[in-house]
Amino acid sequence: MKRTELARMIDHTVLGPSATREAVVKLCREAIELNAASACVDGCHARLVAEKLQGTDVKVCIVIGFPHGMAATAAKACEARTAIEDGADELDMVINVAALKEGDTEAVIEDIRTICKVAKAAPRPVLVKAILETARLTDEEKVAGARLAKEAGADFVKTSTGFGPSGATVEDVALLRSTVGPEMGVKAAGGIRDYETAIAMIDAGATRIGASRSIDILSGAESDEEPPASGTS
């Protein structure tokens, strides 16, 4: 895959307590240089990232209910509204994993639907990605979560936060893709550190990759430059 094509599928990411202002500014600079799909950060950095990315094609992606998804739905909605006001173009929300495991489908779908409603009320298009944290789920729960995310109106279903027991797997990406069909996005995230792994996820059905090691991933991609013509002049 060409480097530019792959870069446009990557959410370049820095999250958690190590995400200092300096680290976030560096992330934005790299995201612009790579022409990544987005720069993905915690909500406290939304305004900073929106400022740094202004005038570029790189979107502002903000996590909601991160990393456990156990905040009240109203709190997630407030977080989402604030993120949008601060410049977010995309919201990566963690679903209520416990409710899904308990079979409380009403709670799960209302949680996701509420964030989707906040996004739809925004003055500009805002995407919602529902994070399932697949490492904590059985295959049956993964399928159920993906179906609920689709029914609730999410634009993507996402494998992992990167803070769970493990990250994305090819098998989980393929399962999510077969569940939601071709019209919904699938984001693979967590543990994707090289080109080969990223391509395996894409081949399995991922349309977006979440990664902090984007530069390493793209180092294995094909150059966008045309090879020199063969033969003599």
3-state secondary structure of 57: coil
3-state secondary structure of 120: helix
Partners of 109 in the β-ladder: none
3-state secondary structure of 60: strand
Torsion angles phi and psi, residue 7, rounded to 5: -60, -35
92, 111, 155, 172: which one is catalytic?
Answer: 92
11, 76, 158, 172: which one is catalytic?
Answer: 158
Left if phi > 0, otherwise alpha if psi is -120 to 50, otherwise beta: which for 93? Answer: beta
Of the candidates 77, 80, 12, the one whose C-alpha atom is nearest the C-alpha of residue 43 is 80
Q: What is the DSSP letter of 15?
A: -
Q: Catalytic annotation on 2?
A: no
Residue pair 12/217 in contact (Cβ under 8 Å)? The answer is no
Q: Catalytic annotation on 142?
A: no
Catalytic residues: 92, 158, 187
